[in-house]
Amino acid sequence: MTVRIGTRASNLAMWQANTVRDTLARHGIEAVLVPLTSTGDRSLGGQLSASVGQFIHAIDDRLLSGEVDIAVHSSKDVPVDVDERVSNLAYLERGCTTDLVITRATKGVPPLESVLNDTDSTPLASILEVFPDGATFGTVSGRRQAFLLSQRPDIVPLAVRGHVETRISRLMEGRVDAVVLAEVGVKRLNSVGALDDVKGDLAAFRIDPADWPTAPGQGAIAVHCTRARYEELAPLRALLNHEPTEHDVAAERALLKEVGGGCLFPAGVGVQGNRVHVHVAPENWRALFCQGTVYNMFRYAGPSDGLDITLPVQPLETPPMAPSGPRYISTLNSDRISRVLSNQGIPMDNVPVVDLVPLFDRWPSSFLHNYERKRDWPYLVLTSPFAAKCAVAAAESNPDIGRIPWLAIGEGTARACFRLGVTVAVCAQARNARELATYIVERFAADTPLFLPRSDLAAPELERTLRDAGFAVTSWTGYENRPKAIEQMAVEPLDVLVLSSASSARSWAENSLRVPREILCMGENARKTISSLDHFSNARVSVLSGPTSEALVKWWQEHRTD
């Protein structure tokens, strides 16, 4: 019979499927490839938590329908719990399991070609020294993000999705400072000339495996069949299966399942015979990171019979209470900023004064069929942490929102997404609507569609500026601001009130809360609102300049330090 091989249509997936076909051909078995497109190939967003195994389900469905006889996958993409009607028929001999940090050609960083041709590796700490504060790394892998951020919490992870070639293209466009890729995939693409046009412009480090255990199954090619046909296809298994690879990958997958994780879990698990190498982050590592807390990793390297996995448990820390004396009183409601200031000896109390209510029925849905190509898909522009939280919640029942790329105004908004499991595609590092508009106009083609959920009290400047620049903007009221009832609180003259928005200023005034002599606010729109309200007439109002935590530290040191 002619064996029908189901595969994704990417260059890398076709390389894997061709390897299976060629192996069968050497033993006189005819086979044909049946390329298919998966849901994962049709997504650009950073929300992966709801779609574990998305790269393999569509292919395995063709097995179950009888359209193909076997399916070929990258083993690291296969969930630990697969459809019980599907069996793993074979693992081909494994390639290398290391990861590469790839950058644009940079002085002091080895050329990609030379790295692929040698065996040298570099400690992770030494690699990260090359990158400045706030460097952007393109990866949506929970393992890679957790490992990077445990060493460098200032790094900004961004969603760079798609085929390896697409991710490298985003790097070359300057969307990110680096991408983290499996070396085996880069080598396989290089072997067929798929990187010839760009590899001369790329530099790379191979991450020392001692610092970076592999993703379970990385480097191995898995071949699936239906459970009902396993015995019938056993002759193919005899030709394809590499027993040492099968042993190691099965052990890695079993360990990953033991700790309760899937392919998105922040765990590196490598097995070679009787040797095990494991790193696991706490399950709540995202929340710890977003809070500004250093998190501890479980680490083990040694014989498998000596392994006793005790997952790290690290509760979130309660922000310290402000001592007596001058303090910031803030409506930002940010534990991370409170912790940053506390580490500088600067007290801050968070006093949230606004309830923000999502209006999910107003968000556009089922819109992607209007676009012929992924490159034409809109960007979702998020202008505040609450807009980010609304978007994450909306995506749970509105899958098209989760599939498009998201653009965050700044790091606080990006972190709000990240804490909830979504990695934004772009972080503008803008402080206000004017800077965000400038960022978009300078870096995006004017034919890029933009989706803009806004508050019911949002100023029109951002949308107006983008439309005037030629952008097609779809905007809607995605959430409402509702003042909270706040009890009167003690406020001393030397305290400093930090008002995060115009709506917070209005709520503060409506509650008739006391006002100190100094007010700091976030942006010109908030300043105008504060100045228009008689309640604040006796206070001096200043607009913060620069990243929020840094600006607050600088202001305090200049105005409240003895």
User: Among all residues, which ones are annotated catalytic?
Assistant: 76-77, 143-144, 161, 167, 263
Phi, psi of 271 (to 5 degrees): -130, 130
Report how far residue 197's alpha carbon sits from residue 200's, in angstroms, rounded to the nearest whole number.
Answer: 7
| Residue 296 φ then ψ, to 5° | -95, 140
Distance, CA of 299 to CA of 243 (rounded, Å): 27
Is residue 69 within 8 Å of residue 229, measured between CB atoms?
yes
The two three-digit tokens of residue 464, written as one number: 């107006």
Q: Which residues fall within 8 angstroms of residue 562, CB to CB, at 6 or more apart?
A: none
Neighbours of 108 (CB within 10 A): 7
Residue with tokens 């607009």: 543
Long-range contacts (CB closer than 8 Å, 24 or more residues apart) made by 255-261: 255/216, 255/307, 255/309, 256/80, 256/216, 257/80, 257/81, 258/309, 259/309, 259/311, 261/80
As a whole number of angstroms, the distance between CA 222 and CA 20 comes to: 10
First and final C-alpha spacing in the chain:
86
Distance CA 332, CA 409 (A): 15
Query: Which 8-state DSSP code applies to residue 199?
Result: G
Report how far residue 142's alpha carbon sits from residue 237's, in angstroms, rounded to the nearest whole number.
32
Vertex 485: Cα angle to 291 and 339 (nearest 5): 15
CB 520 within 8 A of CB 499: yes
* 480 C-beta neighbours (distance < 10 Å), count: 15
Compute CA 368 distance to the chain's CA centroid, rounded to the nearest angstrom: 22
- Take residue 122 and report the two structure tokens written for it: 């570099």
Alpha helices of 3-53 — where are they, by DSSP H?
11-26
